[in-house]
Structure 1
Amino acid sequence: MAVITQFVVVREGVEKMTFTSKKEADAYDKMLDIADNLIPFLQSSDLELDEPTSEKLAFYLASHKDELASLLKGAPQKKAQPVKKASKKADTE
């Protein structure tokens, strides 16, 4: 019989995500804390965002916090790698 250790992130009694390492679970929990702190900040703006949109935006910003912090410091955005196109034969068929 195998023993598997799992780390579960629970918010307001709801299981959000399960991880196999404490480090990953802590990182996800911290990201959720950041998103929770961003929601009132976004809702206080003049953008007139509804609650679901504010939550989605806060989650997105929190999950990309390192890139966002770099952008806020004035660093240029890293370019995404272009997607390779299919060969010309595939385009003409």
Structure 2
Amino acid sequence: MPVRLDKAAITEKTSTLPDWKTDGETLHQTKKFQDFVEAIAFVNKLVSPAEAIGHHPDISISYNKVSITITTHDAGGLTELDFQLAQTISNLV
């Protein structure tokens, strides 16, 4: 099972992901696209990387906005895996 990160590690790692916010338990980002089709295309790009590492974000779509929340439920908070997935998602845009 992945190991939950402490507050200092979370703060340090979040500082390298400027588009992501954290509450200490999750990473969150909302991206805005031109329209629904672009929003869905972005979500479709997430499938392969998430499957590859076996870690899946919570996703909410509202027309042209995609909200992504990442946490490791089994660990009860943020782990290295969450930051790896967040970095991968940031690189997709």
Question: TM-score of the superposition, structure 1-length normalised?
Answer: 0.27
Q: Which has the higher contact order (CA 8 A, sep 6+)?
A: 2
Q: Which has the larger radius of gyration?
A: 1
